[in-house]
Structure 1
Amino acid sequence: MIHKLSGIYETVDFREDEQICLYYNDEYENYPPHWHSSFEVLMPIVNGYRVLCGGKEYHLREGDVLIIGPGMLHELFAPESGERIIFQPSLNHISTREINLLTMIINPATLITPEGYPQIYDRVKTLMLEIKDAYFSELPYQETLIISKFLEILACVGHWHVTVGQQKDTVTTSSRQKEYVEKFILITDYINNHFAEDLSLEGVAAQAGFSKYHFSRLFKQYTDSTFYKYLNQKRIEYAKTLLQDPGMTVTEVAFKSGFSSLSAFLRMFKLMNNCTPTEFREMYDPTKLGAWESAKN
């Protein structure tokens, strides 16, 4: 199978009329910084794997599972020998409010290990192996089966965060927990639709019916992010799509993405992507870097 990069944007080699792609990879080959609109899930089977994503370095051991969110710039480093599953599912065609919230919890990447996620690790590992077996099988409704298993992985991560929140907040009842999850699904949906506007912590908290202090605590508990971190993340994700238009200046991109100043945009873009908007645009430009292809097995 073929792995294609145009600059740093990866065209995922989905099978015809499908939104899933999986490689059982044993190549001693590194993959330079790139991004794509699908998720990427990595699980070493033999030996480890090293990944850079969101300014953080992840060292995967055999059986660890790393989920990388859509649109996240990442770089892969292979050992001299080893085998790993590289799974790329797209959920663009079934995007829902719950999936948007789960994506936010995962972004930029979530490493599932026995120590970090003891209650869900075994199930997630099993699901990844089942996804691999199903992908190379001739089962009917294969794509639906695989997507359902990936959705279960996302749900496991979401349930884990709710469980951790319940352990930290012994006062809140289970029914109130469910109410809060539903409310924060609506809140994040609102931010997704209005991120380019002049949103403030105080304003969104008031709209949700919370004080800004209570809202900040709950937002972190139920989304694993701060309000402004999530808001800026949505703005930068949108900016990346605008930067693909060579006719739009960086200043125009900054203001269309919701930033009040060019300097704030440049600082936040560099922080989240480890490159400037201009560097990102140049890396995306296929006339400057060309198309890069390598075989994956």
Structure 2
Amino acid sequence: MGIAQNQIIHEITPLSDKDCFYIAERYKTQFTYPIHSHSEFELNFTENAAGVRRIVGDSVEVIGDYDLVLITGKDLEHVWEQHNCCSKEIREITIQFSSDLFFKDFINKNQFDSIREMLEKAKKGLAFPMPAILKVYGMLDTLASEKQGFYAVIKFLTILYELSLYVDQASTLSSSSFAKVGIHSDSRRVQKVQEYINSHYKEEIRLNILADMVGMTSVSFSRFFKLRTGKNLSDYIIDIRLGFAIRLLVDSTMSIAEICYECGFNNLSNFNRIFKKKKACSPKAFRENYRKKKKIV
């Protein structure tokens, strides 16, 4: 497998070991920082930035006037780029914090259940809906100017808690396979099938084999799987394969045809059609656009 020569910039954040979080509030006319990753968790808010293109993993979206995203995936690449934004009054608030902020026994307390669930889901990136943004806007607005460190931490924890109440309404950004995040289900049968798909996505996967694995009929299993995951089995398998395919588009020099067959798609034209439907561009265009944002370090 050919490996791409360009690498995502790995950012060394200003977060000190002695601080709970680092916050930067900026007023600017354009986004210039290249695509990057870092080990720290990040909550990023943008205001007056309609037309900016936000990339998180293999998610590419043009945002509106307000955008609030939480990323907890270690080294999940992301960038906000100018694209079609013409605003001269962009405001950005970036909060970076370590996973150590919630030491193990603390985060496992019942009172933190919703925050723990949110941090887990945010490994793929979470974009919050407008009601959530409005709920925390006042606290975000004043957090950078809070002079008392203790109260700043309490305010930040409150922001995280309020956002955690909107997790079910938040949009998951990157695919699991691209973000290299394991998929967890509260159903052992679903988990068993998911693990099988992750290990055999390159091969033909038959419904009856999956159903037999969990002792169900094909019809019953299809209904059960959709109820537990929110996706049809075929759509789920396609999303897993696409995530791996996009990772190869970004990180390798394999041809698109090679990637197509490597990731379980047995027809190149079908792969191109599905990719364009899901990502609004061809695999070739995605690769070219993504690589323009990489820099050698």
TM-score using structure 2 length: 0.54
| Partner Cα distance (1:233, 1:43) in 2 | 28
Match of 1:157 among 151, 167, 187: 167
Q: CA deviation at 1:200?
A: 3.6
Specify the SS of the correspondent of 2:254. Answer: coil
| Partner Cα distance (2:236, 2:286) in 1 | 21
Q: 1:60 to 1:197 in 2, by over 3 A?
A: farther
Give the 5 Å matches for 1:176-255.
Answer: 181-183=186-188, 184-244=190-250, 247-255=253-261
Q: CA deviation at 1:41?
A: 4.5
Tell me, yes or no, if the aligned pair for 1:43 and 1:65 is still in contact at 8 Å: yes
| Partner Cα distance (1:43, 1:129) in 2 | 9
Alignment-derived partner of residue 112 in structure 1: 129
Alignment-derived partner of residue 64 in structure 2: 59
Deviation string, structure 1 residues 35-78 (Cα, Å, up to 9, x no partner): 8698875324x5465555657554354xx634578568975647
**Could you tell which deviates more after superposition, 262-271 or 51-60?**
51-60
Alignment-derived partner of residue 173 in structure 1: none
Specify the SS of the correspondent of 2:92. Answer: strand
**Could you tell which deviates more after superposition, 231-240 or 275-284?**
275-284
Q: CA deviation at 1:190?
A: 3.5
| Partner Cα distance (1:99, 1:189) in 2 | 22
Alignment-derived partner of residue 169 in structure 1: none
Tell me, yes or no, if the aligned pair for 1:266 and 1:277 is still in contact at 8 Å: yes
Match of 1:102 among 121, 133, 149: 121
| Partner Cα distance (1:224, 1:201) in 2 | 17
Tell me, yes or no, if the aligned pair for 2:27 and 2:91 is still in contact at 8 Å: yes
Alignment-derived partner of residue 94 in structure 1: none
Specify the SS of the correspondent of 1:264. Answer: helix
Q: 1:270 to 1:150 in 2, by over 3 A?
A: farther
Tell me, yes or no, if the aligned pair for 1:195 and 1:234 is still in contact at 8 Å: yes
Specify the SS of the correspondent of 1:255. Answer: helix
Tell me, yes or no, if the aligned pair for 1:10 and 1:35 is still in contact at 8 Å: yes
Q: CA deviation at 1:194?
A: 2.8
Q: CA deviation at 1:282?
A: 3.2
Structure 2: state its 5+ residue gaps: 100-116, 171-184
What is the identity, as a one-letter code, of the residue corresponding to 1:65?
L
| Partner Cα distance (2:79, 2:281) in 1 | 10
Match of 1:80 among 83, 88, 93: 88
Q: CA deviation at 1:198?
A: 1.8
What is the identity, as a one-letter code, of the residue corresponding to 2:68?
V
Structure 1: state its 5+ residue gaps: 1-5, 92-97, 115-120, 162-179, 293-297
Q: Which has the higher contact order (CA 8 A, sep 6+)?
A: 1
What is the identity, as a one-letter code, of the residue corresponding to 2:121?
L
Q: 1:291 to 1:81 in 2, by over 3 A?
A: same
What is the identity, as a one-letter code, of the residue corresponding to 2:26?
N
| Partner Cα distance (2:253, 2:15) in 1 | 33
**Could you tell which deviates more after superposition, 209-218 or 193-202?**
209-218
Deviation string, structure 1 residues 259-285 (Cα, Å, up to 9, x no partner): 112222222232333333333333454
- Equivalent pairs: percent with the same residue? 23
Q: CA deviation at 1:125?
A: 3.7
- Tell me how many residue pairs correspond in the alignment: 245
* 1:267 and 2:273 are equivalent in the alignment: yes
Q: CA deviation at 1:251?
A: 1.6
| Partner Cα distance (2:80, 2:120) in 1 | 21
Q: CA deviation at 1:29?
A: 1.2
TM-score using structure 1 length: 0.54
